[in-house]
Structure formats: structure tokens, C-alpha cells
Structure 1
Amino acid sequence: MHLLLAAGTTETALIDGISAAGASPELMAHTPSADVEILEYGEPVLAPVTPVSPTGCPTPAAVTRAVRAVVDVDLSVIDAGLARPTGAPTVGLGVEPGTDLRESEAVPDAAAVYERARSFGSSLPAEEVVVGETVPGGTTTALGVLTALGEPASVSSSLPENPIDRKQRVVEAGLEASGLEPGDCAGEPLSAIRAVGDPVQPTVAGLAAGVLDAGGSVILGGGTQMVAVAAVLRHAGVDDPISIATTSFVAGEQGRRLEDACERLECDLVVTDPGFEAGGHVAMDRYCAGEAKEGVAMGGVLSLVPDGKMAAVRERFVAVCDRLGIDSSEPSATGTGRGDGGTSAPGRSQEGSCRSQEGTRGSQEGTRGS
């Protein structure tokens, strides 16, 4: 199994109240760089921030790191517009950070980025691939792209209370600046990204398309941001089977809207609950309270955890939190939080949930996990 993680930035994240990814704009720009260092080394090594909220909620990178200690997952990080350097190895595709989507063009070279990422994806051995992302502000740009494509739009948030009204106003301003109405980019997804997206979107979509071109299979690891990527692929004429694997935290917030989106885009939906309600650790409590929810391919890699191994993932998660300086019972004052940014699937469910939720399409009785 191979994880391709696209890491980038967009000035959209700097809009007040949009992202929880940093205590200041300068710190926020380092968040994706720190995320990939945590995946590679277990802690930041060059980035000057540790992405942990003041309440003790770590970046989802900590969960993905924990899963990699239990499940054999190769990692390739794609520089999809990092604004600050990272100490982790990356694949460079010449992607620049995105601008504020309220400008006339948010990603001027979206089409070129997509093609370069598609070429890289097609060069990989044909295998099952999880494609994930880390980009502060990404749910707002996801809303922008979905709206421009004319897709019914609902997106999640890393904040306990989703500032969806604010995001919608930002998207409206972006469409107006680009001279667009909702739905004007139907069938032209790269135009939608160019106008109101972020550089991670054409990177992830291109990687997925390339892997499919080569005969591999793709799991889009993430929440509503991956719904936007799936919409981009479908509007680009990619009709291969695709799965979206997310967390119970996103599914609990989105409910039937997430299932409807996956049905409309003909994507299988996999929803994993990591069982954090049984964890007894402040970091797990914060996820159960609605912080973070998803990101850094968290839902994608959790879907790979074999039966009986979720408890081991939780143990490794606590170890990662210890390394990040998060006390097991007290909120942490270090770090900056992460931006906006279990598996039950059609036919299976995993672990208990921090919040009750209905099963996904085609679900049946039974449990999975430890």
C-alpha cells in the first residue's frame, strides 16, 4: 500500500475565521510542513511549530503516523505548493502556493499542475494507493470548487462549530471576482480550481487520475475536500471506480449529505471510527468533541487497519502525542492547531463511535477493529 500525500498552502487560509490552522499567519504557513515531518519522523524537525490546538488536539498527522506504526504503508509526500520548507523528503512538481480565492485567479496554473501530477501518478507501479492532503483552508476552497461545478455543496470544518456561512460568503466573493455564477464551470473542473480552488486540488486529482491510468486503484483519504476532488475527476471524464475513506467525525457531522454526495459521484464511501471514546486521553477527547475531524489522509489510512488492531493504533497515537508534548489529561498550550480542513463502509462497520451515526450505503450488522 502506498500513501501519496499532497502538502500545500493557500492564502485563502488567512481569511479571518476560516481556518484553525495557526495562531498567526506566519505559523499557519508552517502547518503542512510540520505535518509531513510528523509523518516521517514523529515530530517537527525543521518547522518551528507543533500543530496542536490550545485544548490539546493534535493534527491528524499524529493519527496517520500512528497507523503507519501498525500497518505497512509506504509514503511519498508531494510538494503541492508549500509556503515554507520542510525537513521531510518531498517530490517536487513545480507547484506554487495558492492565492486568496477572492482574487480573480486562485490557482493560475491549475491545468499544468494537474497534468504534471497525472504524469507522476502514471509512472508509479500499479497498486492500491491512498491519496491524501494537508492544506489549511482546504474546506473553503472545496466549497468554492463544488459551487463552481454546480454540485450540491456541503463541507466540514476542523472547528467544533463549522463557520459555513462565512465560507459561503467568501466563495460568493470569489465567484464574483472571477466573473462566474454557480455551475458555470460544469464540465470544466480545472477552470473551477483556477478560479476558486487551491493547488492541492489539481495535484491530488492528477495523482489519482495517473494512478488509475496505470491500472492502479485509488482511495481518496479525507472528508469533504475529497468529495470536491472526486467531483473534479468526474467532471474531467474520469469514470474509474474511486473510494472516499473518511472518519466517523466527518460522517457524524455531515450525515446523509456525505452519503448523497458519494452516491451522486458514484464513489464508494468508507467511514472509520478509531474508537477514541474509549481512549481516556485529552487528544482523543478533543476529536470526540468535534475538533480536527480529518486530514493528512487520516480516514484513508484508518480504513487499512486490520481487524483487532485498532487498539494498537490508539496506543501508538498516545505515544506520538507524548512525543509532541501533549499531556494525557491536561490541555496543551503549545502549537497552533490545524486547518480546515473508523471505518464502517458499505458492508462493514468498525469500533464504537464518539457520536452515534447511521450506517453508510449498504451497511450491515457486524463490527471491525479491536
Structure 2
Amino acid sequence: MKGDHYVLLPSGVLAFGDGLREQNVDERVKSWQENITNIAFFLILAGSRTAEIEGISAAGSTPVSRRYTAVADAELLLRGPLFPNRWPLPPLPAGVSPALISYVASRFLKIKPTVISAGLLQSPPFNHVSLESPEIGPARCLSSGNAMEITRVKLLLDGGFKIGKKLKKSLLVTECVPGGTSTAFAVLSGLGINVNGLISGSYRNPPTELKKKLVNQGLKAANLKKNPSSVALMAAVGDPFQPIAVGLLLGAIESGQDVLLGGGCQMLAVLSLALNEIEPESRSEFVGKILIGTTSWLVDETLSSAKNRNSFIHLMDHVASHFKVNLLGLASGYRFNESNQKVLRDYEIGYVKEGVGAGALSLLAQIKGLTQKEMVERCDVEVGNLFKSKNEKTCHGI
């Protein structure tokens, strides 16, 4: 890797961030390695009308297809590519759903998530937890400055907190929220953190100017007071995933658990929203139990305006500096250069990059001993199964 400070660990996982200076990384990695089969693993699915803006997201090639991305990805993670899924994976401009990587890794680890659903247009055809009436539907577009009612945000936050507080084991949080990098951009900006040119997305070249325009519209329309509360900010320009994840995080830390936030800028937004609600003198201790877990593709990315610095690490540094804490991240070291499947090699040229916990689950698999060669071989097989399943459905007129 080029650019910023990072360390290649013996397992092949990359560690990065200012937390390297003060935390015993080997010890923390060993703790996760020893407890992998005994973690509370959550996948949060959520919907926002922000995803229906043309050109905002590649998590589905069309605004309509992005309405069912979350359910389709969750089905793939839970059941694998050969299961006759109720919701088809949406067409992508390139690459393949990161849920396939998550499926391979979670199968190796022998763990499955508890799914929490909020703001979807479909009722998921698998066991899931609802913290609100499913009829409420997606959040409004962030550009409205009125994405959700305050009462809704508080309900979701409280629901997440109650689950987190009851935990007796380490927490892994993952998500699938089409348009979620845009709402992350919005809440981070609303907190006064400079994120311009540092927010990624599922496109090879994320539509930064479009996101910036929507965020500016939303924050202007919201007319928030100076130093807004996290609840007010999420209600103005957020999505339903955020309050659930913030609640889970706050509850888990209160119950003394270690936390792995599986994702990119969306998880930095969640961490920032949580830190915003904590007394400044408690923040360093709070982040001492938290790791960000993502993919090497996201950590490698240098967006054009980021002056040749690794954008995600740079963004994490901005968050750390804003709250005067040292954050620690881990990235899976797997690469797909040697893959036989083009849709996997697409990851190496900047498509998709992260999602559905692909980074966190694959780094846990790497820590647990799944080699680079085995990971690529397993992913190649499952892509083959995915194509086989699609072809069979086509042949049967589905």
C-alpha cells in the first residue's frame, strides 16, 4: 500500500490509524481470533429515498432495482448463491455483490447474522427483527432536510441500545443501505467534519459533486442550530440504519463489549454520531474498545481531490482529530488479481469495494486462517454457482 501509516500483520490483515500508536494491535486481533465463534453478529438493512436519485449509487443499476438491493444481498449472505432466492440480485454496472464475499467468509467462520430491518419496501423473506412498523417505509431523501421524524429516530436508537446493552459477547455490526455513503457524507458534514473528496461509494469514480449538492441542500433546508444533537442530525439528513447502529454501539460499550464496525464511511458516521453524544473526557476510553473493519480496496482508494492520500485513512484521521481520539482500523488483505472470475477482478480496478460486512467478515476469516489462495478459490466457485443459478432461472422462465 502507498501513502499513510499502516502495518501488515502476520495474518495478512492491514492495521491503520493513529490507534496504532497507543493500542496493542496484536493483543486486540488475538482477542477477536479467540472469540470469533462467540460474537453477536448483526446485519442492519435499511432504506432511504436518497438511493433513488439517478446516478447516486451503483448498488443496483437503476433507482427501481436499488429498492430491493438490501433484501437481495441479505438473502445471498444468509442462504448462498444456489438457494432459490425470493429477490434477485440487482444488476450492477460491474463487479458482483459484496454479499458473496461475506457469504464465503461467514461460512468459513460458521457464523450467521441476526438481521435488523428498517425502512424497506419489502418484508424480508427470512427471520428478522423489526424495531418499528414495517409500513413506515424508507427515509425521505436527505436533500429534503427532513429525512425522518424525530420520534422515529429516537425509537430506533432506543431499540438498538436495548439490544446492545443486553449483549454478553463482542459485537460485529454490518449493513446494507443503498445510498448510505451519501447519508454518511451528510451527517459527518453536519457534525462539522471536513469530508469533501474523502467519501467513497460503490461506483469506480464516486459522484462526489452530486453528493455534495444533495448534502448542501439538505443541511440548508434543515436549518439546524449550531452543534446539533445526533438525533436532530439523523432526523434531518440520515437514514434508519444510523440510529439503530448508534444505539447498538452505545449499548454494547455500556455492557463492556468489544465492537467491530464492519464497513467504511458509514461506520465512521455511526462512530461519530455516538462520540457526539459522549462527554469529551470519556471519548478516548470509549474508542479503546472499537475497531473499524473494512476491505483493502477501500483503504487503497485515492480519490482525485485527496492529494494522493489514502482517502479512507484520511477521513478516519479527520474524524479522530475532530473528537480528539485515536482510532484503529483493520482491513482484510485479500486480493482478487488471481481470480478466474472477471466480476471479482473488477474489485481490483475500483468497483464496489465494500458492503454487507465484506471487509470485517473477510478479515476475521483471514485472522482465523483462511489463506489468500483458499479465499479466491472459494469465491470463484460461488460466483460460478451464482451464474449457474441465474442461468437455471432464465431457462425455467423465471
Counterpart of 1:309 (choices 346, 371, 377) is 371
Q: Could you list the per-position Cα deviations for residues 284-309 of structure 1 after superposition, in whole angstroms to 9, with x for gaps in the alignment?
A: 21111111101101111122122353
Q: Distance in 2 between matches of 1:278 and 1:54?
A: 21
Cα pair 2:65 2:90 within 8 Å, conserved:
no
Match in the other structure for 2:267: 226
Distance 1:287 1:22 in 2: 16
Question: Distance in 2 between the 1:266 and 1:82 partners?
Answer: 35
State the partner residue of 1:135.
177
2:200 paired residue among 156, 161, 165: 156
User: C-alpha distance in 2, partners of 1:326/1:185?
Assistant: 53
The 2-side partners of 1:87 and 1:45 are apart by 12
Whether the 8 Å CA contact 2:331–2:360 is kept in 1: the answer is: no
- Contact preservation (8 Å) 1:262, 1:269: no
Letter in structure 2 aligned against 1:292: V
Q: What's the offset of the Cα at 1:20?
A: 1.2
Q: Aligned pair in 2 of structure 1 residues 22, 74: CA closer, same or farther (>3 Å)?
A: closer
Q: 2:54–2:63: 8 Å Cα contact kept in structure 1?
A: no
Letter in 2 for 1:88: F
Could you tell me how far apart the structure 1 residues matched to 2:370 and 2:338 are? 15
Q: Which residue in 2 is equivalent to 1:212? A: 253
Amino acid paired to 2:124: T
The structure carrying a bigger helix percent of its residues is 2
Q: Does 1:199 align with 2:240?
A: yes
The one-letter amino acid of 1:280's match is: N
Say if 2:79 is the partner of 1:79.
no
2:383 to 290, 300, 321: 321
What SS class does the counterpart of residue 324 from structure 1 fall into?
helix
User: Aligned partners of 1:100, 1:308: CA distance in 2, in Å?
Assistant: 40
* 1:152-190, Cα deviation, whole Å (9 max, x unpaired): 213111000111111000000101111148xx345x112
TM-score, length basis structure 1: 0.82
Q: For structure 1, which segment, 14-23 or 88-97, has the greater mean C-alpha deviation from structure 2 after superposition?
A: 88-97
Summarize the Cα distance change of 1:261–1:45 in structure 2 as closer, same or farther, 3 Å threshold.
farther
- Report whether the alignment pairs 1:22 with 2:60: yes
**Aligned with residue 172 of structure 1, among 198, 207, 216:** 216
User: Which residue among 235, 248, 258 is the counterpart of 2:315?
Assistant: 258
The question of 1:281 aligning with 2:324 is answered no
Superposition deviation, residue 112 in structure 1:
2.0
Give me the CA root mean square deviation.
Answer: 2.1
Letter aligned with residue 356 of structure 2 = V
SS across alignment from 2:43:
strand
- 5+ residue gaps, structure 2, are 1-38, 303-309
- Helix, strand or coil: the match of 2:351? coil
Separation of aligned partners in 2, 1:53 and 1:326: 17
Is the 2:61–2:93 Cα contact (8 Å) retained in structure 1? Answer: no
Correspondent of 2:296 among 224, 248, 254? 248
**Deviations 1:27-79, CA, capped at 9 Å, x for gaps:** 21111001111111113745432145253x11111110010121132311111
8 A Cα contact 1:185 1:192, kept in partner: no
Rounded Cα–Cα distance in structure 2 between residues aligned with 1:293 and 1:63 = 11
The equivalences for 1:280-359 within 5 A come to 280-305=340-365, 306-325=368-387
Is the Cα contact below 8 Å between 2:60 and 2:91 reproduced in 1? no
SS in 1 for 2:113: strand
User: Distance in 2 between the 1:158 and 1:270 partners?
Assistant: 20
Letter in 1 for 2:346: R
Q: Match for residue 87 of structure 2?
A: 48
C-alpha deviation, 1:12, in angstroms: 0.4
The number of aligned residues is 323
Amino acid at match of 1:121: G
State the partner residue of 1:122: 165
Q: 2:189 aligns with which of 143, 147, 152?
A: 147
Q: Is the 8 A contact 1:80 1:200 kept in 2?
A: yes
Corresponding position of 1:346:
none
Choose 1 or 2 for highest CA Rg: 2
Structure 2 distance, partners of 1:294, 1:92, is 25
- C-alpha deviations, 1:291-341, integer Å up to 9, x for none? 1101101111122122353432222222321222179xxxxx9xxxxxxxx
